[in-house]
Amino acid sequence: MSTQNFNYWTLVLEHLRSKISGSNYQAWFSNIEFDAIGNEGRKLVIYAPSEFHKQYIEKKFNVELRESVNKYYPKVIHLEIRIKEQEKVPKKQIQDSLDLKVAQERKLEKLEVTPTEDREKIASYLPRKNLNNLNPKYTFENLVVIKSNEFTVNLAKGIVQELGTLYNPLFIHSPVGLGKTHLLQAVGHAVLEKNPELNIKYVPSDTFFNQFYLALTKGEAQKFRDFYSSVDLLLVDDIQFIGGKEGFQNEFFHLFNLLHQSNKQIIFTSDRNPKELIGIEDRLVSRFEWGMVTDIQKPDFDDRMAILQDKLQRANLILSPEHTQLIAEKVNTNIREMEGVINKIRAVLNASVDKELSDRALLSVLGQYIKQSAANAENADLLVANPDRINMAVCRIFGITPEELLGSSRKANVAEARQITCWLYKNDLTLSFPHIGRLLGGRDHSTIMHAVRKIEVLIKQKDARIISKVNLVKQFLLEM
């Protein structure tokens, strides 16, 4: 095969980056490798790191990939994605000599434990070796996949297929009540079903710390180390709670190195991005970011409707469409609160003679959420009535810089972000077209009119992607 057109591949990736979101590009294309062009320019071969990668790209991004390839390789008819053979040794990471020495010593300590009774004797504060602490309800089958969590769910499922080699660690963050714990344990169940012999442990970080503290007070720190160094899949929930616990962080740092060096899978959840964690050492934050960092967004109205209908079905409750829509509209903070509302409705129905939910009863159940919704509406204008805030929110959602937004870049995602900004200026701030043009880098008012009308048409046509972007920007404005 000839590699005469190799230099065009970087242009293909740049074009592809402009067509899909930054998180999708980073997850699925940052580790794709170009191989060659052959058959007189009609065949292009690239390598994916795993079969899961290959299948996901072919299913989700086939159109975008082929468009980008054909832009720079117009003769290509056949696009072949091959699987790159995984190395059995872990990727080399930059570690100081102390890290390596500690990891090696711990490996030797583990190997030197010979008496069977000593290996099996576990301290009372540690769970039994065959106890994984997984909640039987938290499985992939019971998880509602929606727009706001689809990306993260797909990453998690990929890890089940490529344990320890795809993304290690995986760091999932979101506000409370959006399903992090459910997803974390769903991975554990799926891995256990696929490989029943594996040692899987789910542990909340505060429990993790308490176990370590008890081990220290009893002089059994080595038992704690041996116990967790034997784990094949470690699922740590709410890692933010180890902030400020310096002694435990040091112990966990070396445990992480040992597990990672052995290709043992680690998954964390947190209520915030690793860079925003408080009281956690930089060297740990750096390791949290080694594999993949992903978030779960707050569900929009359509997502909340899907979740609500699923939970009502599981609870054997039938509500009118009007009642269902009202709940989805008002209970918009997190999934956990929605479950609480369903439990209250069930209690009301159990106490009702005719077993029907009246409008008055539902309004009573939703009282606090209706008040909060009214308060949010009163404050909404104050929150969004500021061009700088809109710029900041748009840049955050689209993953671009203010300079790109106000500059001359014609990248697809930047242009779309600029158009939505124009529409928000006009729709939410009622600014004139010339005023908007001045705010956005001195653009002509006709350009602004075109941008606003384009977004208006897409919204009227119920373009799901544009509506989702607008909703995400507005949601971010409310949280600023």
* Domain span including residue 437: 385-479
Whether 316 and 453 share a structural domain: no
Q: Point out the domain boundary residue: 26, 52, 83.
A: 83
In this prediction, residue 110 carries a pLDDT of 39
pTM to 2 decimals?
A: 0.58
Are residues 191 and 320 both part of a single domain? no
Strands 43-48 and 33-38 turn out to be antiparallel
Residue 1 within any structural domain of the chain:
no
Q: Could you tell me the two tokens for 335? A: 């999934």
Beta strand residue intervals within 407-480, DSSP E: none
- In CATH, what number is assigned to the domain containing residue 435? 1.10.1750.10
Strand partners, 80: 45
CA 189 to chain centre: 19
91 is a domain residue: no
Closest alpha carbon to 471 in 405, 412, 401, 394 = 394
Q: Is residue 158 within 8 Å of residue 53, measured between CB atoms?
A: yes
Helix-helix angle 221-229:97-112, to 10 degrees: 90
Query: Does a structural domain hold residue 159?
Result: yes
Crossing angle of helices 321-330 and 301-314, in 10° steps, is 120
Residue 397: Cβ-neighbour burial (10 angstroms; 0-12, 13-18, 19+):
buried
Report the pLDDT value the prediction gives residue 65, as an integer from 0 to 100. 92
Whether 197 and 116 map to the same domain: the answer is yes
Our CA angle for 323, 329, 331, nearest 5°, is 95
pLDDT at 268: 96
Q: What is the CATH number of the domain that holds 258?
A: 3.40.50.300
Can you tell me the distance from the alpha carbon of 110 to that of 122, in angstroms, rounded to the nearest whole number? 14
Residue type, 372: Q
pLDDT number for residue 380: 47
Tell me, what's the pLDDT at 318?
A: 84
Q: Which residue, 264, 295, 326, sits at the end of a domain?
A: 295
Q: Is 303 helix (H, G, I), strand (E, B) or coil?
A: helix
90 located within any domain: no
> Using an 8 Å Cβ cutoff, are 260 and 168 in contact?
yes
Q: Indicate whether 380 belongs to any domain.
A: no
Same domain, yes or no: 10 and 65: yes
Do 266 and 153 share a structural domain? yes
> Which of 242, 271, 295 is a domain's end point?
295
Residue 30: its pLDDT value, please? 81
Q: Is the dihedral of CA 230, 231, 237, 238 positive or negative?
A: positive
Report if residue 365 sits inside a domain.
yes
Q: Do 270 and 127 share a structural domain? A: yes
User: Are residues 227 and 200 located together in one domain of the fold?
Assistant: yes
Q: What is the mean pLDDT of each run of 10 residues along the chain (480 residues)?
A: 58 86 78 84 86 83 89 87 63 39 41 38 56 85 87 92 89 89 94 91 90 86 89 93 87 92 94 87 92 88 87 85 84 82 85 74 78 54 67 90 90 93 89 88 90 91 86 77
Look up the CATH number of the domain holding residue 310.
Answer: 1.10.8.60
Question: With contact defined as beta carbons under 8 Å apart, do 138 and 181 qualify?
Answer: yes
265 and 312 belong to one structural domain = no
Helix (H) or strand (E) holding 69: helix 62-72
The bridge status of strand 43-48 relative to strand 200-204 is unpaired
Same domain, 79 and 110: no
Same domain? For 270 and 176 the reply is yes
pLDDT, position 123: 53
Q: How many structural domains comprise the chain?
A: 4
User: Which residues make Cβ contacts (< 8 Å) with residue 458, sequence separation at least 6?
Assistant: 466
Examine the domain organization and report whether 320 and 291 are in the same domain: no
Whether 435 is in a domain gets the answer yes
Render pLDDT for 394-411 as a digit per residue (tens, 0 to 9): 998 888 998 999 998 889
Q: Which residues of 413-450 are buried (b: 16+ CB within 10 A; e: fewer)?
A: bbebbbbbbbbbbbebbebebebbbebbeebeeebbee
CATH of the domain at 34: 3.30.300.180
Instruction: State the pLDDT at residue 55.
Output: 83
Same domain, yes or no: 158 and 245:
yes
Phi, psi of 315, rounded to the nearest 5 degrees: -90, 0
